[in-house]
């Protein structure tokens, strides 16, 4: 599967305008990240507990990367070593 | 600082109250807990560095960086133990500090020798998108209005931050370093700038079809 072109006009508009709607700050995102990821991994909807996190990930690549990393790290611990 | 060679299964599996009890105790029990926690933080930092560095770090540099990240994360964690609310496992809470340190330091390393892109690079990006085959008339008009709004509606600081982060792809921590500020403060500036641009485009009757853009690749 090919990666989306980051300079596609729509992607460029997304980057400049960011997500619509309310979102948490970077500080709130860091504060809630551990609970958010654990809820995700048990199949719950963490947005019900911490609304605005997903929108923040859409607007803040750094926080989105750290979210992905924590998910990946916890998943790697849950998987048996190959 | 006391260290252990490998994070043990016991350390990962220990429950949160046990971690807190040991880390707030005194003497050898606290030293042992700190050593075990440090080893977990090294593992988490190393995991993150491996994901981000694409193998261009030498093994020694990777190990040094992971140790440094774990050291900084440990200091932060020990200073914030009172903030741990038990909303997640203690280890998950602790990991995020190591991942944060590793992500920030890896981004800074990647940009250490790079020039910051200039504003003209961003205008060229918009011009290319506007004239490219994927821009229909409506999108081209929106991009023109967006460029005007960036130039006229934002303060100098808002424009500098928005162009660097959203158009030129400078990592937020790298820009925060260069402007001597924080990620949170920069993101607030970016958010305010985006709100201004959305309002300016709406005032010109531009439809911001977020749903349609989400579906487009």
Return the CATH number at B83. Answer: 1.10.1740.10
Are B185 and B135 found together in one domain?
A: yes
Share of chain B above pLDDT 90, in %: 65
Which 3 state secondary structure label does DSSP give A24? coil
Q: Which pLDDT tens digit goes with each residue over B133-149?
A: 666 788 888 888 999 99
Are B103 and B15 found together in one domain?
A: yes
Q: Determine the Cα–Cα distance for residues B16 and B9; give it in Å rounded to an integer.
A: 14
- Amino acid B6: pLDDT: 42
Average pLDDT in the A60-64 region? 97
Out of B94, B111, B128, a domain closes at B111
CB contact under 8 A, A73 and B87: no
Residue B4 lies in a domain: no
- Is 80 exceeded by the pLDDT of residue B30? yes
A42 touches chain B (CB under 8 A): no
- Amino acid B130: pLDDT: 72
A52 touches chain B (CB under 8 A): no
What confidence category does residue B55 fall into, taking pLDDT thresholds of 50, 70 and 90?
low
Out of B111, B127, B156, a domain closes at B111
* From A30, A38, A62, residue closest to B92, measured CB to CB: A38
- Is 70 exceeded by the pLDDT of residue A47? yes
Chain A: give the shortest CA distance to residue B32, in Å. 22
Average pLDDT in the B19-48 region? 96
Return the CATH number at B130. Answer: 1.10.10
Q: Which pLDDT tens digit goes with each residue over B58-72?
A: 888 889 999 999 999
Residue B3 lies in a domain: no
Are B102 and B143 found together in one domain?
A: no
A45 touches chain B (CB under 8 A): no
* From A4, A34, A69, residue closest to B217, measured CB to CB: A4
Are B205 and B133 found together in one domain?
A: yes
- Is 60 exceeded by the pLDDT of residue B216? no
Chain B: give the shortest CA distance to residue A71, in Å. 10
ipTM attached to this prediction = 0.90
- Is 60 exceeded by the pLDDT of residue B41? yes
Share of chain A above pLDDT 70, in %: 88
CB contact under 8 A, A34 and B167: no
CB contact under 8 A, B143 and A12: yes
CB contact under 8 A, A34 and B129: no
What's the structural domain count of chain B?
Answer: 2
**Segment holding A64, helix H or strand E:** helix A61-78
- Amino acid B113: pLDDT: 80
- Amino acid B92: pLDDT: 97
Question: In terms of Cα–Cα distance, which of B120, B71, B93 is closest to B17?
Answer: B93
Residue B153 lies in a domain: yes
Rounded to 5°, angle at Cα B93 from B5 and A28 = 145
Are B190 and B156 found together in one domain?
A: yes
Question: In terms of Cα–Cα distance, which of B14, B10, B29 is closest to B89?
Answer: B14
Chain A residues whose CB is inside 8 A of the B184 CB are: 25-27
The three state secondary structure string of chain B is CCCCCCCCHHHHHCCHHHHHHHHCCCCHHHHHHHHHHHHHHHHHHHHHHHHHHCCCCCHHHHHHHHHHHHHHHHHHHHHCHHHCCCCCCHHHHHHHHHHHHHHHHHHHHHHCCCCCCCHHHHHHHHHHHHHCCCCCHHHHHHHHHHHHHHHHHCCHHHHHHHHHHHHCCCCHHHHHHHCCCCHHHHHHHHHHHHHHHHHHHHHCCCCCCHHHHHHCC
- Is 60 exceeded by the pLDDT of residue B4? no
Residue B69 lies in a domain: yes
Are B72 and B97 found together in one domain?
A: yes
Residue B49 lies in a domain: yes
- Is 90 exceeded by the pLDDT of residue B43? yes
- Amino acid B217: pLDDT: 38
Are B201 and B160 found together in one domain?
A: yes
Are B92 and B156 found together in one domain?
A: no
CB contact under 8 A, B47 and A73: yes
Domain that holds residue B203: 119-215
Out of B86, B111, B136, a domain closes at B111
Chain B: give the shortest CA distance to residue A51, in Å. 16
Q: Determine the Cα–Cα distance for residues A68 and B150; give it in Å rounded to an integer.
A: 31
Q: Which pLDDT tens digit goes with each residue over A22-37?
A: 999 999 999 999 999 9
Cβ pair B141, B79 in contact under 8 A: no
Are B124 and B202 found together in one domain?
A: yes
- Amino acid A11: pLDDT: 84
Residue B53 lies in a domain: yes
CB contact under 8 A, B184 and A27: yes
Are B130 and B76 found together in one domain?
A: no
Are B70 and B142 found together in one domain?
A: no
- Amino acid B210: pLDDT: 63
Chain A: give the shortest CA distance to residue B179, in Å. 17
Q: Which pLDDT tens digit goes with each residue over B79-128?
A: 999 999 899 999 999 999 999 999 999 999 989 888 888 777 777 778 77
Q: Which pLDDT tens digit goes with each residue over B157-176?
A: 999 999 999 999 999 999 99
- Is 90 exceeded by the pLDDT of residue A42? yes
As a whole number, the mean pLDDT across chain B is 86
Share of chain B above pLDDT 70, in %: 87
Are B155 and B84 found together in one domain?
A: no
- Is 50 exceeded by the pLDDT of residue B9? no
């Amino acid at each position: 599967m090919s990666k989306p072109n980051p300079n596609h006009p729509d992607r460029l508009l997304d980057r400049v305008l960011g997500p619509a709607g309310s979102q948490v700050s970077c500080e709130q995102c860091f504060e809630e990240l551990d609970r958010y990821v654990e809820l995700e991994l048990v199949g719950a909807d963490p947005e019900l507990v911490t609304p605005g996190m997903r929108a923040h990930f859409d607007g803040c690549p750094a926080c989105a990367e750290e979210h992905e990393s924590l998910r990946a790290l916890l998943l790697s611990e849950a998987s048996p070593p190959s | 600082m006391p260290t252990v060679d490998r994070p043990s299964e016991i350390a990962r599996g220990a429950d949160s109250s046990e971690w807190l009890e040991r880390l707030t105790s005194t003497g050898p029990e606290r030293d042992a807990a700190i050593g075990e926690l440090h080893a977990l933080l090294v593992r988490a930092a190393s995991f993150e560095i491996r994901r981000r560095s694409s193998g261009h770090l030498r093994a020694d540099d990777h190990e040094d960086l992971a140790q440094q990240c774990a050291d900084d994360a440990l200091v932060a964690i020990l200073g914030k133990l009172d903030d741990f609310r038990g909303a997640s496992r203690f280890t998950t809470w602790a990991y995020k500090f190591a991942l944060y340190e590793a992500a920030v330091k890896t981004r800074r390393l990647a940009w250490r020798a790079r020039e910051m892109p200039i504003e003209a690079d961003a205008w060229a990006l918009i011009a290319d998108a506007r004239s490219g085959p994927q821009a229909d008339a409506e999108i081209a008009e929106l991009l023109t209005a967006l460029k005007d709004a960036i130039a006229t509606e934002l303060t100098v600081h808002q424009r500098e931050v928005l162009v660097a982060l959203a158009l030129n792809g400078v990592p937020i921590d790298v820009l925060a370093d260069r402007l001597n500020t924080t990620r949170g403060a920069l993101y607030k500036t970016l958010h305010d700038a985006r709100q201004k641009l959305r309002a300016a485009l709406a005032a010109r009757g531009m439809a911001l079809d977020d749903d349609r853009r989400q579906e487009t690749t």
